[in-house]
Structure 1
Amino acid sequence: MHRFKPTIRLYHRRTLHHQSHTDLSSSGPLASALKSRAVIRFSGPDTIKFLQGLLTNDVRKFCESVGERNSTVPTPNMPAVTVPPMYAALLTPQGRFLYDLFLYRPPIDDEKLESKGSGSGSDTGREVELFADVDGSVLDELLATFKKYRLRSKVNIENVAEDFSCWQRYGNLSESASSEEEPEAASVGWGAAVDRSAESASRGDKHGWQWFKDPRLECLGFRGVFPSDTTPPLVEADKETDERNYLLWRLEKGVAEGSTEIPKGEAIPLEYNLVGLNAISFDKGCYVGQELVARTHHRGVIRKRLLPLRFLNDNGKEVEQKVAPGSEVTVTASSKKAGTVTTALGCRGMGLLRLDEALSGALTIHGQEYVKVEAFRPKWWPSEWLQEYQQHSTVA
């Protein structure tokens, strides 16, 4: 298993087509508008029940009365209590991946502060409402799929992609996003000055928008949904960057996102590490595709997993734009197939590989033997994943 110091390079917005990049890991906090993502809204009295029977995670947590209290100091810049977002997936009845969703619950009226920031507003009895950040490339079919399952459920499913945008804040952030180290982003994301949009929300308008810790992994940074006509707080003009840099950041972490990187109708959720990304609850009860997921988790051994990749030449130097998704990764000594590249950008990629070949020998790209492949285990992986593989290999 190879270890190396990551040197991710930055694609600049103004030189998008000129391959101009610098070291991403030393560029400080960055933010990207995720144009590949779209926003839909679920509302109505059956919203929680409807999604609970479909998605892999426990949506009932949005009904819990106690959320995360943002601060002991009242301010009109934020709701008094927030509910963290949730990452989840919709599967086929056979347990294969279809779509991923980041779910957000806007603050309800009795959780908002009054204009003076001294107390909660009144509860007008608004219906349950959840926003979902989804893959924009499959938006139409995703909406059609949810509406197919709706039947008589009292839930509205709306495309609000023109009104809202998805953002990610990442890069060289604090190792621990505690209130002491990064109070603005860790708590509200509005900053110290009064933001008029946030202040409006605290006075009883429909929404109060803020950054949240990415529900998958802390190392991914912060994520949020914001009105399309505004730039989110804490996004400095010289730090807003192309979405491809966020892709590079995820490639180095080995985190796939969306129905292209996680092949729709084909991918097995556990092979794409969705358990480690907090997308699956094993305590919630039944949902579409649950049987295969539960059986694999409790009885099976995961022989293949999604791994970060680095592409090198014979001299060990990184090679750019030489590998395409779908390329076959082979074991150099035996020419045996180890897996497939699923995503690639520059000298980085991800691949679904057999662990026994990926972490124990030299790899190359089939048909491009001059391109060497270095696969490595991400730091965030639970130690038991590798232990399970090693125990299985010993028995075999």
Structure 2
Amino acid sequence: MEPRAALLGGRSVLRISGRDARSFLQGLVTNDVEALKQGEGRFAALLTPQGKILFDFFVTPDGDALLIDCNASQAADLAKRLGFYRLRADVRIANESASLAVAAFRETPPPAQALAFTDPRHEGMGWRVIGAPDELDRLGVVAGLDDAYAAHRIALGVPEGGADFAYGDTFPHEANMDLVHGVDFKKGCYIGQEVVSRVEHRGTARKRIVRVGFSGPAPGVGMEISAGDLPVGQMGSSAGQEGLALVRLDRFAEAMGPITAGAVALTYLGGGR
């Protein structure tokens, strides 16, 4: 059964506070966070100067502060990286992963008093809630549903960093961030903006994450995808008989023979453009 309220064990929470918190983050990340209202959330990324994704995360207000819902394995590094850019800004960066957790709600919205926002990546992803573990328990959040949550995400074609693309080696368009509302092309400058804007205006994204189907055991994450002897991409996460794959769109579309990951034949289910 798909989770209605699933504890997302692989997430951590950072708090950005201080007088300059919003303007500080606004000048760094791919999305517009300065105009965020309580109960809203944005999906965004912090890039290298060359425009590749270092970290991706959600941002939502908590009073005058901003909370960052990020990959737990990256929380310490993200806090450290943000600290590099702080300089003289009135900003405090705190890792609150010991006191706050993240949950995903499906179908039924969370109670009004919860610190919650609609997952902006896809309307089928429901709501994300940040709260103390005991508070999430009272809201009926259940642990151990990560696989069911991942299956739902994969079925909707929503990529996840570290599973479907490599941090530090992937451009936002390749990770479909422009398609899942992770980039604001009208906001002011941020790190890596020139590269991202150039790809958008020229329409030159050669790689995209697409949905694929297969029979039998799932190909492993990172397994090379080939059309005959021609490499066309790499496999990402899978659930059931579906998965996500980062592929070269031209090679994938022009493949004359079967497309395989190892010995597993793949079929195209949608995505990319």
Task: State whether structure 2 residue 111 is matched by structure 1 residue 190.
Answer: yes
* Structure 1 gap ranges (5+): 1-26, 68-81, 109-127, 174-181, 192-197, 199-208, 313-318, 379-384, 387-396
Percent identity among equivalent residues?
32
Q: Output the CA distance in 2 between the equivalents of 1:152 and 1:236.
A: 40
* Structure 2 gap ranges (5+): none
Task: State whether structure 2 residue 260 is matched by structure 1 residue 364.
Answer: yes
CA drift at 1:233: 6.1
Q: Which residue of 2 aligns with 1:133?
A: 69
Q: Contact between 2:43 and 2:56, CA under 8 Å: does it hold in 1?
A: yes
Q: Secondary structure at the match of 1:308?
A: strand
Task: State whether structure 2 residue 229 is matched by structure 1 residue 335.
Answer: yes
Task: State whether structure 2 residue 270 is matched by structure 1 residue 349.
Answer: no
Q: Output the CA distance in 2 between the equivalents of 1:164 and 1:129.
A: 14
Structure number with the higher strand fraction is 2
Task: State whether structure 2 residue 5 is matched by structure 1 residue 31.
Answer: yes
Q: Secondary structure at the match of 2:136?
A: coil
Deviations 1:124-168 (A, max 9, x none): xxxx20111011011221111111111111100001001110111
TM-score by length of 1: 0.64
Q: Output the CA distance in 1 between the equivalents of 2:31 and 2:129.
A: 19
Q: Which residue identity does 1:225 align to in structure 2? A: I
Task: State how many pairs are aligned.
Answer: 271
Q: Output the CA distance in 1 between the equivalents of 2:140 and 2:177.
A: 29
Q: Which residue of 2 aligns with 1:300?
A: 203
Q: Which residue identity does 1:347 align to in structure 2? A: Q
Q: Contact between 1:358 and 1:375, CA under 8 Å: does it hold in 2?
A: no
Q: Contact between 1:271 and 1:306, CA under 8 Å: does it hold in 2?
A: yes
Q: What is the alpha-carbon root mean square deviation over aligned residues?
A: 2.2
Q: Output the CA distance in 2 between the equivalents of 1:213 and 1:300.
A: 29
- Provide closer, same or farther for how the CA distance between residues 139 and 29 of structure 1 changes in structure 2, counting only shifts above 3 A: closer
Task: State whether structure 2 residue 194 is matched by structure 1 residue 291.
Answer: yes
Q: Secondary structure at the match of 2:35?
A: helix
CA drift at 1:45: 0.3
Task: State whether structure 2 residue 16 is matched by structure 1 residue 42.
Answer: yes
Task: State whether structure 2 residue 267 is matched by structure 1 residue 374.
Answer: yes
- Provide closer, same or farther for how the CA distance between residues 343 and 29 of structure 1 changes in structure 2, counting only shifts above 3 A: closer
Q: Contact between 2:22 and 2:33, CA under 8 Å: does it hold in 1?
A: yes
Q: Which residue of 2 aligns with 1:167?
A: 103
Deviations 1:327-382 (A, max 9, x none): 11112xx432221112234533211112244356531123x2xx11122214xxxx
TM-score by length of 2: 0.91
Task: State whether structure 2 residue 160 is matched by structure 1 residue 257.
Answer: yes
Q: Which residue of 2 aligns with 1:274?
A: 177
Whichever of the two has the greater Rg, that structure is 1
